[in-house]
């Protein structure tokens, strides 16, 4: 990935020019229940949820271009023919992704976007004759559907729809399953806004023996207009065009799942009428721009600015706005993804917080699995899995994220919002729900004061250390101390002094238990098994050290200055890589039956010793709060590839998103590679760490506390952010003339560097001068 690649359109688009780059340079687009990841060559991972994850095609999108006179052909974006282009550009944008490939005197411009409110891919392909000769050209779409279900599958051309309709019925045996499955989106359609010259539906007939690189059908003058009964299908249209030099031709295609023909007709009417496509794209672009405007930064790091101002916002909307395109978010994820919306869309964040407590049990237990808006999708199969496992930590995330929402928005009315318990009978206010959850966590401890880990805490597949009901989580005990202190502040706001005192006292007892039982001279133990065996300790050959019980020892205030220095040394010695700190090391290479499922995960992947960005973000936050801003910044900036050791080459991804993890050392030759999974809680924490620590604008009940920790390399930076409904333009600069930080609000010097809660929704100017030595 040479440096020729760069951001353009004020950071909202990235230009990449190497079609032969082996690692998939992914772009991604989404709406409420569809996610499409596509790379620079046309390899795609397209899915939607109904509510279970459903795929509707084979993993490639391409358009063949044939010179009808010479028979020569090539493909755009690039795969599968991979002809050497005269010019190639892959341009992922916030709202759409574009490719331009000029080969054999024809320039093919291809654009993809997903409309906001419908499950569909909208493709626009424009061919331009850039040669000096008139050209007789065929353009072919190649959108392979494949064979979605062996029991019933086929396709046909529908002249009225001017498109291909593929119908299938999922396999089932039980009668009752028929009634459940018939409501699913069992169609796929490919509609064209111009009449194709010919078409082919049979994948076998289209590819023949030539396969995708040399499809037999491209040797025919015209596609056969063949049907595709009970065989793998393809949406292949042929458009024959005569193009004079400089002339061009354009086609819009809509490809995607549908419930039935009525729905397909609606899609046609909505998007393929004149102007329908551009109108839909403008709607998507407005959605992103509206949210991007909420928080903007200007710093000496251009890639950082482009990421924060546009791509971080997009990823936060994927995680929080579309709930990672799932109807089954884990409660732990929902709370944090909603926290990622507090700057961008606080109303939606509030909505999710109330939705989450709807599954709490009257005894305070909080299950992981939440079922959202099921009425919005057909009564398909009920998905089970990790969401059905009773995790011990879920009650940590409500107080943590809601406390931030309250100080940032000032909307204390949320605390009085009544929400039903999961039995649908009794209800309580959000404040009481949270307190009940804390009481459940306080009760869920062993006599010696550590939290029971049960079948897993934040680390989902750490599921066998405590499933017999005795195993303890040091991390959860630290997280409990952290949120008890946080919620004590909320209780004070509600003049609930008794609870506030109790929470602070209990937080201290958690810290003492952690230091009494889990400090191993150079780092903190991760937990104790049902048999009382400590794990994440020096004598463990694998899983010797875990990151979370280090960072949260700093976050909850258990770690003293000396312990902090010691564990940071151990972090650098045992867990640090050029991509950031690993979740644990060395990775497990064999099953350990009192640790659990994480051991069977590939070494260096997921929780088994990857650089798990969510956990690396916790560590960045802890370093800042422990007064290590430079190291905190390094950890934060390394989350995004294209920085120091975490190069674009090493990660194999573009600087457009933070993946949920980078391969750890245990992965061997792929160490450092990105997982390309854009679903991660890291995004929400990135916003908080950047705003509260780097820019030093930390919201409290009494206002916005100003204490920037700019990286040593920066002399100035600015940020525009919302606070309590008002907007603040904050200019920060370093100066040798001051010895302490000085803050001016609308020209008036603030004595205690605290911006008081605003009156009204105005716009305010804040100048901050920090000592150059800082």
Site string for ligand CEZ, 674-693 (x = CB under 6 A): ---x----------------
* Candidates 460, 496, 729, 752; catalytic one: 460
Task: Give the distance, in angstroms, between the CA of residue 252 and the centroid of all CA atoms in the same chain.
Answer: 29
3-state secondary structure of 106: strand
**Residue 468: other Cβ atoms inside 10 A:** 12
CA distance 343 to 324: 18
Whose CA is closest to 676, among 23, 54, 166, 21? 23
d(CA 82, CA 511): 60
CB of 379 to ligand CEZ, least distance (A): 25
Shortest Å distance, C-beta 741 to ligand CEZ: 36
DSSP string, 159-218: TTTTEEEEEE-----SHHHHHHHTTS--EEEEEESS--SEEEEEHHHHHTTTTTTS-GGG
- Indicate the residue among 600 and 712 with the shorter CB distance to ligand CEZ: 600
Interface pick for ligand CEZ out of 83, 250, 386, 750 (rule CB under 6 A)? 386
Residue placing its CB nearer to ligand CEZ in the complex, 102 or 369: 369
| 458 counts as binding ligand CEZ under rule CB under 6 A | yes
With H, G, I as helix, E, B as strand and everything else as coil, classify residue 98: strand
CB of 383 to ligand CEZ, least distance (A): 13
Contact pattern from residue 39 through residue 78 relative to ligand CEZ, giving x for each residue in contact according to CB under 6 A and a dash for the rest: ----------------------------------------
Instruction: Rank residues 459 and 529 by Cβ distance to ligand CEZ and give the closer one.
Output: 459
**Which of 461, 466, 543, 664 touches ligand CEZ (CB under 6 A)?**
461
- Least separation in angstroms between residue 681's CB and ligand CEZ is 7
- Would you count residue 460 as binding ligand CEZ (CB under 6 A)? yes
Q: Positive or negative CA dihedral for 386, 388, 393, 396?
A: positive
Min CB(334)–ligand CEZ separation in Å: 10
Phi, psi at residue 716, to the nearest 5°? -155, 160
In the complex, minimum distance from the CB of residue 262 to ligand CEZ, in angstroms, rounded to a whole number? 37
560: three-class secondary structure by DSSP: coil
Instruction: Please name which of 280, 292, 294, 352 lies closest in space to residue 322, comparing C-alpha atoms.
Output: 352
Could you give the string, one character per residue 100-129, with x where binding to ligand CEZ holds by CB under 6 A and - elsewhere? ------------------------------
How near is the Cβ of 59 to ligand CEZ at its closest, in Å? 20
- Residues 743-748: contacts with CB under 8 Å, at least 24 apart: 743/706, 743/767, 743/768, 744/768
Q: Are 228 and 201 in contact (CB under 8 A)?
A: yes
Q: How many residues make contact with ligand CEZ (CB under 6 A)?
A: 12
Task: Kindly tell me which of 518 and 617 has the beta carbon lying closer to ligand CEZ.
Answer: 617
Contact 99, 76 (CB under 8 A): yes
Binding residues among 635-654 for ligand CEZ as defined by CB under 6 A? none
According to DSSP, residue 756 is labeled: P
Binding-site member from 12, 135, 268, 332 for ligand CEZ (CB under 6 A):
332
In terms of C-beta density within 10 A (0-12 exposed, 13-18 middle, 19 or more buried), how is residue 408 classed? buried
Q: Which is nearer to ligand CEZ, 600 or 772 (CB)?
A: 600
Q: Which is nearer to ligand CEZ, 486 or 547 (CB)?
A: 547
The interface region with ligand CEZ, picked from 41-49, 330-338, 536-544, 627-635 by CB under 6 A, is 330-338
How crowded is the C-beta side of 660, counted as CA atoms within 13 Å? 13
By CB under 6 A, which span of 427-435, 452-460, 643-651, 713-721 interacts with ligand CEZ?
Answer: 452-460
Task: Using the rule CB under 6 A, give the single segment among 71-79, 117-125, 169-177, 327-335 that binds ligand CEZ.
Answer: 327-335
CB 598, min distance to ligand CEZ, A:
7
Residue closer to ligand CEZ, measured from CB, 140 or 612? 612
Whether a cis peptide bond, with omega within 30° of 0, leads into 77 is yes
In a 3-state reduction of DSSP, which class is residue 460? coil
CA dist., res. 330 & res. 613, Å (int): 18
CB of 671 to ligand CEZ, least distance (A): 17
**Interacting residue with ligand CEZ among 109, 322, 550, 660 (CB under 6 A):** 660
Of 527 and 708, the one with the shorter C-beta distance to ligand CEZ is 527
Residue 724 region, left (φ>0) first, then alpha (ψ -120 to 50), else beta?
left
Residue 333 in contact with ligand CEZ, rule: CB under 6 A = yes
Nearest residue (CB) to ligand CEZ, 103 versus 608: 608
The C-alpha torsion from 286 through 292 and 296 to 298, rounded to 10°, is: -80
Dihedral angle sign, alpha carbons of residues 647, 652, 654, 660: negative
* Count of residues in the chain: 774
The stretch among 223-231, 275-283, 373-381, 454-462 that binds ligand CEZ (CB under 6 A) is: 454-462
Cis peptide before 489 (omega within 30 of 0): no
Binding ligand CEZ by CB under 6 A: which of 606, 637, 663, 724? 606
Nearer to ligand CEZ, 310 or 676 (CB): 676
Q: Which of 85, 93, 257, 330 binds ligand CEZ (CB under 6 A)?
A: 330
- CB under 6 A: which stretch of 47-55, 455-463, 719-727, 746-754 binds ligand CEZ? 455-463
Range in contact with ligand CEZ (rule: CB under 6 A) among 325-333, 430-438, 492-500, 706-714: 325-333
Among 607, 635, 657, 667, binds ligand CEZ (CB under 6 A): 607
Q: Residue 759 contacts by C-beta under 8 Å, 6 or more apart in sequence? A: none
- Nearest distance from C-beta of residue 332 to ligand CEZ, angstroms: 5
Between residues 104 and 460, which has the closer beta carbon with respect to ligand CEZ? 460
Instruction: Give the whole-angstrom CA distance, residue 498 versus residue 520.
Output: 35
The reply on whether position 662 binds ligand CEZ by CB under 6 A is: no
Shorter beta-carbon distance to ligand CEZ: residue 257 or 340:
340
DSSP 676: -
Q: How far is the CB of 209 from ligand CEZ (least distance, A)?
A: 40
Residue whose Cβ sits closest to ligand CEZ: 460
Q: Which is nearer to ligand CEZ, 95 or 459 (CB)?
A: 459
Q: How far is the CB of 609 from ligand CEZ (least distance, A)?
A: 13
Contacts for 622-630: CB closer than 8 Å, 24+ residues apart:
622/550, 622/551, 622/552, 622/554, 622/555, 623/554, 623/568, 624/689, 624/693, 624/694, 624/709, 625/554, 625/555, 625/693, 626/554, 626/559, 626/564, 628/568, 629/693, 629/694, 629/709, 629/711, 630/711, 630/712
| Residues 6 or more apart in contact with residue 661 via CB below 8 angstroms | 583, 605, 606, 610, 611, 612, 613, 675, 677
Judge whether 460 counts as a catalytic residue.
yes
Neighbours of 351 (CB within 10 A): 13
Task: Please report whether residue 329 would count as binding ligand CEZ according to CB under 6 A.
Answer: no
Segment near ligand CEZ (CB under 6 A); pick from 27-35, 247-255, 328-336, 708-716: 328-336
Closest CA to 564 of 574, 577, 573, 555: 555
Q: How far is the CB of 597 from ligand CEZ (least distance, A)?
A: 7
Binding site for ligand CEZ (CB under 6 A): 330, 332-333, 386, 458-461, 606-607, 660, 677
**Any idea which residues carry the catalytic annotation?**
460
């Amino acid at each position: 990935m040479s440096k020729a690649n760069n951001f353009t359109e004020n950071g909202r688009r990235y230009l990449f020019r190497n079609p032969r780059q082996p690692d998939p340079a992914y772009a991604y687009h989404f709406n409420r229940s569809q996610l499409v990841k596509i790379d620079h060559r046309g390899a795609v991972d397209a899915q939607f949820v109904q509510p279970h994850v459903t795929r509707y095609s084979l993993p490639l999108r391409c358009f063949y271009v044939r010179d009808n006179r010479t028979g020569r052909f090539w493909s755009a974006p690039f795969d599968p023919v991979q002809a050497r282009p005269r010019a190639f550009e892959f341009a992922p944008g916030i709202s759409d992704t574009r490719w331009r490939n000029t080969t054999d005197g024809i320039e093919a411009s291809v654009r993809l976007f997903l409309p906001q409110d419908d499950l569909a891919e909208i493709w626009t392909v424009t061919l331009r004759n850039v040669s000096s000769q008139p050209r007789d050209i065929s353009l072919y779409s190649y959108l392979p559907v494949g064979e979605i279900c062996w029991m019933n599958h086929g396709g046909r051309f529908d002249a009225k729809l001017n498109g291909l309709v593929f119908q299938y019925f999922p396999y089932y045996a039980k009668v009752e399953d028929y009634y459940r499955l018939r409501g699913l989106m069992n169609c796929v359609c490919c509609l064209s806004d111009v009449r194709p010259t010919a078409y082919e539906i049979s994948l076998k007939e289209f590819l023949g023996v030539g396969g995708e690189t040399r499809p037999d059908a491209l040797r025919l003058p015209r596609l056969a207009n063949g049907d595709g009964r009970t065989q793998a299908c393809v949406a292949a249209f042929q458009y024959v065009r005569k193009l004079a030099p400089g002339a061009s031709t354009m086609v819009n295609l809509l490809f995607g799942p549908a419930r039935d023909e009525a729905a397909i007709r609606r899609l046609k009417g909505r998007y393929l009428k004149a102007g329908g496509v551009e109108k839909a794209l403008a709607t998507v672009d407005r959605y992103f721009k509206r949210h991007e405007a909420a928080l903007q930064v200007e710093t000496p790091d251009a890639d950082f600015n482009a990421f924060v101002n546009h791509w971080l916002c997009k990823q936060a909307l994927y995680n929080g706005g579309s709930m990672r395109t799932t109807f089954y978010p884990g409660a732990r994820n929902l709370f944090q993804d909603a926290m990622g919306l507090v700057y961008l869309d606080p109303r939606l964040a509030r909505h999710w917080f109330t939705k989450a407590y709807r599954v709490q049990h009257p005894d305070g237990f909080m299950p992981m699995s939440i079922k959202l808006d099921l009425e919005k999708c057909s009564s398909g199969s009920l998905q089970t899995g990790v969401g059905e496992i009773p995790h011990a930590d879920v009650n940590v995330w409500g107080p943590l994220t809601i406390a931030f929402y309250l100080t940032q928005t000032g909307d204390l009315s949320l605390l009085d919002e009544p929400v039903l318990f999961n039995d649908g009978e009794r209800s309580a206010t959000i404040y009481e729900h949270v307190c009940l959850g804390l009481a459940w966590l306080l009760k869920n401890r062993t006599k010696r004061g550590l939290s029971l880990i049960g079948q897993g805490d934040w680390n989902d597949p750490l599921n066998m250390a405590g499933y017999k009901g005795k195993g303890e989580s040091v991390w959860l005990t630290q997280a409990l101390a952290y949120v008890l202190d946080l919620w004590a502040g909320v209780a004070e706001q509600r003049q609930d002094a008794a609870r506030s005192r109790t929470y602070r006292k209990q937080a201290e007892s958690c810290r003492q238990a952690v230091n009494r039982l889990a400090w191993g001279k150079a780092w903190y133990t991760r937990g104790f098994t049902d048999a009382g065996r400590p794990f994440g300790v020096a004598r463990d050959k694998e899983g010797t050290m875990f990151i979370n019980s280090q960072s949260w020892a700093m976050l909850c205030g258990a770690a003293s200055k000396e312990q902090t220095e010691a564990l940071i040394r151990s972090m650098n010695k045992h867990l640090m890589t050029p991509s950031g700190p690993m979740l644990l090391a060395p990775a497990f290479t064999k099953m350990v039956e009192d640790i659990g499922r994480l051991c069977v995960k590939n070494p260096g992947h997921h929780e088994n010793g990857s650089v798990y960005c969510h956990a690396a973000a916790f560590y960045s936050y802890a370093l800042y709060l422990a007064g290590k801003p430079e190291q905190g910044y390094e950890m934060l900036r390394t989350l995004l590839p294209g920085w120091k050791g975490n190069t674009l080459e090493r990660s194999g991804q573009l600087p457009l998103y933070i993946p949920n993890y980078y391969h750890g050392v245990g992965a061997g030759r792929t160490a450092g590679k990105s997982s390309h999974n854009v679903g991660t809680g890291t995004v929400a924490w990135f916003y908080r760490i950047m705003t509260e620590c780097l820019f030093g604008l930390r919201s409290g009940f009494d206002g916005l506390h100003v204490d920037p920790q700019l990286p040593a390399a920066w002399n100035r930076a600015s940020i525009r952010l919302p606070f309590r409904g008002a907007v603040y333009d904050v200019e920060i600069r370093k100066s040798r003339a001051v010895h302490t930080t000085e803050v001016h609000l609308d020209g008036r010097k603030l004595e205690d560097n605290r911006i008081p809660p605003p009156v009204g929704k105005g716009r305010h100017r804040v100048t901050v001068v920090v000592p150059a030595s800082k």
